Amino acid sequence: MRARAAELLELYPHPRSALIPICHLAQEQDGWLRPEAIAEIAELVGLAPAEVLGTASFYDMLHTEPVGRYLVSVCTNIACLLRGAYELLEHAEEHLDVRAGGTTADGVFTLEEAECLADCGRAPVCQVNHRFFGDLTAQSFDTLVDSLRAGRHDADVPPHGTLIRVRRQGGLRVDGDTVAGERAAMAAAIAQRAGSGGAASS
């Protein structure tokens, strides 16, 4: 890694400018940035380890905790959302037996919710490491997972991918919410509004 990092450092006027590319380079080794890697990066770019960690923890495509062999990122942006992304994400959580943001007990899969993956024409879409899979249904997602487990995608799904993560603090999906629950709440709110409007007009 140090040889490649040295090449990257030569591309920038200041060593700290190469921080993000070198973080990506280090992440390719294990799929995440180990504490030892953060210390080494800090030495290379002339920063304190805390500064490197602060940068790495800010960017969602960099991982400061271990991840599974396959990073499965389900897009929930508007195009995918309108074509069932949240239902797909809920199904993925059930099928893999892990909540979004977690890793399966066997360490094979890390499931994450992602912002737009720029493949809207094939929504709903997920990304596995660097590879995209579109027009997904619950059944095709299960087939994909089974194929990954069996190693049938090893030739075309590179190891230790990076992906964009979005940590939602609220909005459309929070802990404990389901699509069915959201729809029921919306229907109740519409009915209540309709009832209030009727009472006001009479």
Q: Would you call 19 helix, strand, or coil by DSSP?
A: helix
Q: Where are the domains of the chain?
A: 2-58, 70-149
Token match 């094979």: residue? 108
DSSP per residue, 123-157:
-S-EEETTEEE-S--HHHHHHHHHHHHTTTTTTTS
Is pLDDT above 80 for 82?
Answer: yes
Confidence of residue 84 (pLDDT cuts 50, 70, 90): very high
Is pLDDT above 80 for 155?
Answer: no
CATH of segment(s) 70-149: 3.40.30.10
Q: 2-58 has which fold?
A: Arc Repressor Mutant, subunit A (1.10.10)
Tell me how many degrees the CA angle 38-39-42 measures, rounded to the nearest 5: 85
d(CA 78, CA 98): 24
